[in-house]
């Protein structure tokens, strides 16, 4: 067979097509390096890529507000913790990795992982202390599938924020023996967490949160007011100090004048102490 014929046969031979991402199986290492469609986040569920649906505006607001509350709580309580939203993956099984709506981990864990190339996923040894999912289109994933995975990954606490059922379910594993137990908190209640005992967060506020941007503006306005009050107090104190200094100088001048007068009387042969 001539070279030309070989080339023609080769050209006509069917080319093997690569399986679509939704059909092929991925290892965890392949998942970390996978680059899919722009602006699409993928979870890995036992080797299969699962594209995450776009979040609703309410979903986004809830995540932003919860992140805001947690970050300020960590600062107020001087806790070495980091909270991230819709950005940090968590490896749950050999070939499974989830992207919770909110992830809380220690600063040490975050600093160890932050410079690692590939997708931002916390591995088995980099366990978060809290993951949060906001229920959207597929409630079964959050209540059943992900609960099982987070439980098996021994994540200490898992919150399910459910706008449809108007509640927050807090799952925890205090005994570390029998798996998660849970408590449901309704709109009339505040969330209770054994890890964040001083956190004040009502379910009603979380399910219908104010805009974080407005909260930050109010925070800045409050800080400006406080700064102005501090400045005014300093100016008042400085004025009082200057007044006291002026009074001290006046008293010193009077004392010196009295001493000079007494000296002149002595020179004139008059004892000042004998003058009534």
Q: CA-based Rg of the chain, rounded to a whole angstrom?
A: 35
The pLDDT tens digits for 194-204 are 999 999 999 99
Per-residue pLDDT tens over the stretch 53-96: 888 999 999 999 999 999 999 999 999 999 998 789 999 999 99
Q: Output the CA angle 141-74-42, nearest 5 degrees.
A: 30
How many CB atoms within 10 Å of residue 209? 18
Domain residue spans of the chain: 55-210, 218-266
- Measured CA to CA, the distance from residue 256 to residue 235 in angstroms comes to 31
Which CATH class, in words, describes the domain spanning 55-210? alpha beta
Residue-wise pLDDT for 90-112, tens only, equals: 999 999 999 999 999 999 999 99
How much is the pTM? 0.77
């Amino acid at each position: 067979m001539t070279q030309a014929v070989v080339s023609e046969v080769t050209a006509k031979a069917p080319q093997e097509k690569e399986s679509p991402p939704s059909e092929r199986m991925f290892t965890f290492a392949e998942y970390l390096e996978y680059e899919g469609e722009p602006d699409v986040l993928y979870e890995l569920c036992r080797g299969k890529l699962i594209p995450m649906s776009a979040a609703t505006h309410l979903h986004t607001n809830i995540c932003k507000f919860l992140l805001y509350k947690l970050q300020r709580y960590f600062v107020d309580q001087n806790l070495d913790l980091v909270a991230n939203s819709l950005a940090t993956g968590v490896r749950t099984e050999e070939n499974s990795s989830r992207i919770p709506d909110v992830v809380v981990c220690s600063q040490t864990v975050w600093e160890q992982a932050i410079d690692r190339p590939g997708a931002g996923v916390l591995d088995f040894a980099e366990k978060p202390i809290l993951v949060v999912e906001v229920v959207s289109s597929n409630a079964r994933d959050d209540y059943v599938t992900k609960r099982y995975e987070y439980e098996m990954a021994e994540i200490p606490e898992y919150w399910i924020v459910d706008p449809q059922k108007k509640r927050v379910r807090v799952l925890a594993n205090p005994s570390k023996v029998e798996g998660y137990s849970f408590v449901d908190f309704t709109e009339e209640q505040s969330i209770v967490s054994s890890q964040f005992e001083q956190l004040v967060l009502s379910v009603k506020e979380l399910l219908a949160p104010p805009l974080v941007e407005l909260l930050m503006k109010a925070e800045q306005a409050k800080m400006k007011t406080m700064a102005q009050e501090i400045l005014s107090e300093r100016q008042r104190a400085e004025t009082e100090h200057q007044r006291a200094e002026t009074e001290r100088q006046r008293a010193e001048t009077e004392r010196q004048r009295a001493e000079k007068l007494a000296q002149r009387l002595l020179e004139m042969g008059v004892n000042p102490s004998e003058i009534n």
